[in-house]
Every structure is written in structure tokens, then in C-alpha cells.
Structure 1
Amino acid sequence: MTDPTATVRELLREHYSSLTQSERKFATSLLENYPAAGLASITIVAANAEVSTPTVARMVQKLGFKGYPQFQQALLKELEAKVSGPTQRRDKWITEAPEGHLLNRFAQAVTDNLGQTLFNIDPEQFDSAVRKLANTEGRLYVVGGRITRALADYAFTHFQAIRQRVTHMTSSSATWPHYVLDMVEGDTLLMFDVRRYETNLQRLAELAADRGVKIILITDQWASPIAPVAQHSFNCWVEIPSAWDSNISTMMLLEAMIAATQEEGWSETRDRYDRLDELFDMTRLFRKFS
């Protein structure tokens, strides 16, 4: 019996070591176009992955499903969750949320989100992404979407203090070609994209990737369509008892990245902090207490 709260992607990661070579081939094919690649008939998905139908059936059972129909239903539910809007999310929580005060339910949901997010972060991937964020030989670009642009702005404010050569791309996609024009191989693009995923962000990622830019994606548990072109993709759990998704786990990951980037090049960063404080004193931007 499979865990009803686990996504198929999580189950694949959990059971990957026990899969045969053919089963891993199907798993890779599924993840390359997830979850759409698993929504056709079992014969079609097997043919698309160039494996046999029994291979697909065996792998599905290894993941804990009784058969392919139950496996496919799980993928359909994930796809439905991906495209759901605020009204559908609220209706789901109203009918399925546990009893108790909203504050308690909210706190439990946030705690679960943080735990799931941390559990699914690969430390080596995190460290590799941080090295790219700290690498001043290339320029760092930061961009977000309709909701996540607030996270992008927060990220830019900190990274601009930590390192040189940081660019905050505007929220207007009409201006993005001007930024892409100056992108070169060795640059890094930090992107935020959560459901409902934005087609303009996906196109930006594709254009940047074509120019050799390394993409670091922060997305939700269902994964933005940008993920296939990203060098590093981090999934943050976001569901809460609300019509809106939560940015708490996303912010946790971002702040961890900011802290790690600061430490990666601390000698240079400390010097920048000192010089920045001198400038703040000269402009009298902040009140000083003696």
C-alpha cells in the first residue's frame, strides 16, 4: 500500500535503487515529461519509453500501486493540483481540513511543508547551487513571477549586498529580451515559479539555457515546467488551509541559500558589508544609537 500523501515523483526517488535497468529507463522517461508522460495507456507509455508493457506494470507495483489504473489516477490528481486556482484550493481545504482552529491547522500545515521540503533537498545539489550563486566571474540574474516576484526582490536585496554583478530583472516580460541580450555562458539565473506556472518564465528559461546560462529553479512540490532546463531544481511544499499557497518553505530555502552564499565568499562579503555600512553612515539612511 502506497503512502497517500506521497507524489509519484517522491515514490520514484524512494524506490529508485530497487528498480531494474528497464524500469529505470521508464522512470527517466516519465520524469522528463512529468506527469503527462504517464497519462496515456500503458501500452503507449511503454512504447514511448522503449520498454515492454510488463516492465511498466512491474515498476508501478514496486511503487506500491495495485496496478496501472491506480498509478495513473495518482498522476491525474497531481495534475489537477498543479492547475487548481484559489477557489478550488479553498474548497478542498473546507471539505478535507481537520477539525480545530485555523491557527492550529495552519501551523500544522506549515510545519509539514517545512519537513517535506527539507527531506527532499539534496545537500550536494544545494552546495553546488550555492557555488554558482557565489561565483562572481559570471553575472547573477534574479527573476520571479506574479506572486514570486516578491521573493525575487528579497533575494536581489541580499545578493546585491553579498556579491557584485547582480541584476534584478523587472516583472515586465517585455523587457526581458534586453537582459537576455547580455547573458553569456557562465552566468547564473535564479528563478522562482510556482503554480499556476507562467509561460513567459518558461520561455525566458529556454532562451537563457540556449545561451549557456545555468538556471537555479525554486518551485513547488509539483515542479514548474522549467525544471527540465534547470541545472538545479528545488521543490518546496506550499499547501496550507487557504485559497493561496504558502511561501514559508520557499522563504526558508531562499534564506538558507543566502546564508550559505554569504559564507562561501565571506572575506569578500565582509569587506562589502563594511563598505556598505560606511555608505549608509554617509547618507544617514538609518538612525544611529550611541
Structure 2
Amino acid sequence: MNTTTLCPLGAESAKASVRFFLGVDGGGTGTRVRLSDLSGRILGQGEAGPSALGQGAEQAWAHIVLAARQAQALAGVEALDWSHCAIGLGLSGASVPAQVEAFLALQPGFALLALDGDGFTTVLGAHGGRPGAVVAAGTGTVGEVLRRDGSRACISGWGWICGDEGSGAWLGLKAMRHAHQAQDGRVPVGPLARAVFAVVGAEREPILAWCAQAGQHAYASLARLVFDHAEGDNIDPVAVGFVQEAVAELERLALALDPAAELPLALCGSIALRLAPNFSGTMAGRCVSPQGDSADGALHLIRSVLQRLGN
């Protein structure tokens, strides 16, 4: 998506009133908010629960505000007034117009707001606002690229139910499907299936009950079982195969983002970093260490918007 910018006070009033920047990284698992002054000095950071827009606008704002208040407390800033704050947000689900509309309708009075997807703010943070590509795989998966001509693209990020290949939720779903087959007797009961049974139950009814209430985060929590049994003493070839599939999916994603392999590539997210040692030599050679994270990118986003208002 293109950045959504909201200036409820009007551009000139917003520019004059801003004293602090807030950078928000919000996904399906948690929210991080970083507070900085106008010079860019980081004052504090707070954390709270998920703020993915697909989980509801009210929840998103509740967790963003909670994390912002934590950052304020750590910074020792008293009575932080939202009307003196410019907030940049990189949120999962920001590509769905209806979700964005519902979210903006509840904004609690920030002087200036800039919203984009968390994948794009990850690109901005990883490459300091300069061209580059990012493969981000954690609870979900998304690939983003900012090209040298200023154009951008987003690949994957279709959601955990029917996409997000190579993510934690994707690995968890594969583990659960394998456990279903093992419980049925369609495949042997191996270490990975037994590990899933230890979490959700080994009989049909508790398994069905767990699946009926499980969401993205719950399935992503099963990814650790795949990694636990892809190496070490209790190895399971099924888990090894799932890890290899995840690596292949992320490599395909990176190639689609930058077919000419001319841009720096950063890997972000717990799953991508866990899989990185298994990447091919060619792909590993393209990777650079991120300069910053999605919250840094959200700060870059809102600073650039304020700067444009001044031109």
C-alpha cells in the first residue's frame, strides 16, 4: 500500500505542534513502540500485545497506547499529550482498506499519523531508508522491496490461513497436519507428532478442540517443535523436511523481490533468522545485517512525512 497520512489538526498546525515522534511496529504477536525527540534521539521503548489490524482496531489502539505509555514512563516524560506527537505505524493488515478505515476512525488525537505495512517499515529500518529488500518471517511472512527508482513491491503476506509460506504459523500448520495424519494412522507416529500430541492432546476430541480455537499465534507457537526435531538427538526426518521447505520458500521469495540480485537483502524475524544458516551460498552472500528494525523504519516514515510538510 501507499502510506496513509492523517493530519487532523491540518498540515501547518501539525508541523508546529509536534514535539515527539513515536515509531510503532505492530504484528500478530506483539507491539513495540519507540519514542524519540525531534533530533532523533531515542528516549524510551514500550511493548504490549498484538496490534495486527486483522485482530480488530480497538485492540490495536489499546496495545499501541499501552506500549506508548510504557515508552513515556521509561523516558521520564510526564503527561505526554498525543496532540504534540507524530506517530508512524508499521502494522500488519495495513493493506486492507476496510481495516485501515476502522483503525483511523479511532485514532486518539495524534497531531500527525503515517501508516504503512510492517513489511515496508521493516525495509526502511533495515536499510536506513535507502533501496533494499527484506524477507521478514516470524509469525507471518512478507517480502518487501524499495527499488532504486523509488518504486516498491510487496510479495507474500497473504495471511496465515492460505499463505505466509516459510513463517512460524505455516510451520505450525504443517506440524499439526502431520499430527492429524499420525493420529489417523496414515503416517507413522514419530518424534514430531508426539511433540504436538504433548501440547494439544493425543486423542481426536482434544485435537479438534485445540484446532477450533487456535489462531495464528497458537499455530506459530508449534514452530519451535519443528525446529526442536530438525536437529539434535531426537531428530525427525519429517521436521527436517519442513525446515528445508521453509528455506526454499524464503529463497524463492527473495528471488522474486529482486530477480537481478542487485539490492542488499536483509533477513528479519525470528523464523528467517533461525533459517538463515541453511540458506544456499548464493543467497547467503546477498544478505546484509539490518541497520534497524520496523520500529526504526516507522520513525523514519513519520520523520519523512513531517519533512515533506515543511517543503
| Structure with the largest fraction of strand | 2
TM-score range, shorter chain: under 0.3
More relative contact order, 1 or 2 (CA 8 Å, 6+ apart)? 2
- TM-score normalised over the length of structure 2: 0.27
